[in-house]
Structure 1
Amino acid sequence: MDKSQRSGAFKRHRFSPQIIAHVVWLYARVNLSLREVEEMMMERGVDVSYETSRRWTVKFGPLIAHVLRRRQPRPGDVLHLDEVVVKVAAKRLLVKLMKRWGSVPKRIITDKLRSYGAAKREVAPGLDHWSHKGLNNRAENIV
């Protein structure tokens, strides 16, 4: 991509948006140090300093994270919850989940922990709630 094709946030940068995104990805996702990112890019023939990588991470990290979050698949209509996740704050968890995904699920499946029922009645009274010892095995068996 030549300079005439660059637009938006990547304008006036010496490197292409693909290289910048790759550097940010290496640092944030692969969990490498800035100096390791510098070395890896040098092995690929791209001379970029660790300080430039740090600046790109600060500038473009939130933008790239936002794009990646938008690509995540939407959750289904059924939530499987387990008491290991929640002891006291079931209401807070339900509110947070609904805010995060922007919708109310059709059903939640939990174990026999009573705080889920109380939280459901307060937060989403119309929500279908299945509570049985074996129904939430899906939540317990996540590996």
Structure 2
Amino acid sequence: MQSMDELFKGRHFEREVIVLCVRWYLRFKLSLRDLVEMMAERGLALAHTTIMRWVQRFVPEFEKRWNRFARKAGRSWRVDETYVKIRGKWTYLYRAVDRDGQTVDFRLSANRDVKAAKAFFRKALETQGRPPVSITLDGYAASHRAVRELPAQSSRWKDTRLRSSKYLNNMIEQDHRGVKSRINPMLGFKVFDRAAVTIAGVELLHRVRKGQFNLGRLHVRGQAAPAIWNAVLSA
């Protein structure tokens, strides 16, 4: 993993400005041009495309650094898909939370089918490092079929129970709102890969807000957000 100096080497702007712009864009309902105006009030001349490039460049690096401190989610997963428009076409954001509302994982997919559902479950298993005790779904048949077929592909899924409950899945549907409330003001994406990176950043900030990271050893309890981010990225 690159050091902080290496990560931001050659950038025209200081790393504090870059981190602030990326963090604010992903966390708050701000457009790129809103951020340009806000930075101009601080004497910084930025183009909105510069901030867009920062998001694409640094979100994967921020994820790596924050994930070193991630707590594992619980083993009762609530899984659902929501919709994201890319170049005028609906795509599908697979998401899961545990029984306490902590984010398990997410995956953007061009399709909503058995193959896409399996890809999401495999990604979630890799992220968490352990299979769930139960997976709760709504009535969508492809996701049910994917869960039923997983044990044949890996014995790690053999003890996972499948449940179907609209009531229990209210939690994941409510959690979608925290992500969609930030995605919707972005007014649609143009490129799938860029959308995936941006959504990963939104999901990261959503997890940070929910306190899904163990930062005790960094001694940042009670610190302001800039200090916390600097500590995480520097660790």
Deviations 1:89-125 (A, max 9, x none): 45444323223x1523151234697625631331333
Q: Distance in 2 between matches of 1:83 and 1:27?
A: 24
Letter in 2 for 1:7: D
Q: Any stretches of 5+ residues in structure 1 without a counterpart?
A: 1-5
* Change in 2 beyond 3 A, CA 1:115/1:14: closer
Q: Distance in 2 between matches of 1:55 and 1:106?
A: 37
Report the CA distance between 1:71 and its aligned residue. Answer: 4.8
> Secondary structure in 2 aligned to 1:76?
coil
Q: 2:51 aligns with which of 53, 57, 67?
A: 53
Residues 94 and 119, structure 1, Cα contact 8 Å, conserved in 2 = no
Q: Which is greater in Rg?
A: 1
TM-score, reference length from structure 1: 0.62
Report the CA distance between 1:22 and its aligned residue. Answer: 0.6
Q: Any stretches of 5+ residues in structure 2 without a counterpart?
A: 83-93, 95-111, 175-235
Q: 1:96 aligns with which of 104, 111, 123?
A: 123
* Change in 2 beyond 3 A, CA 1:39/1:125: same
Let me know the Cα RMSD of the aligned residues.
3.8
Deviations 1:47-74 (A, max 9, x none): 1321543443444343234434555432
Identify the residue that residue 160 of structure 2 maps to in structure 1: 129
> Secondary structure in 2 aligned to 1:74?
coil
User: What pairs with 1:1-143 in structure 2 (closer than 5 Å)?
Assistant: 7-30=5-28, 32-43=30-41, 45-50=42-47, 52-81=50-79, 88-89=114-115, 90-99=117-126, 101=127, 103-110=129-136, 115=145, 118-125=148-155, 127-132=158-163, 137-142=167-172, 143=174
> Secondary structure in 2 aligned to 1:109?
strand
Of structures 1 and 2, the one with the larger relative CO (CA 8 A, separation 6+) is 2
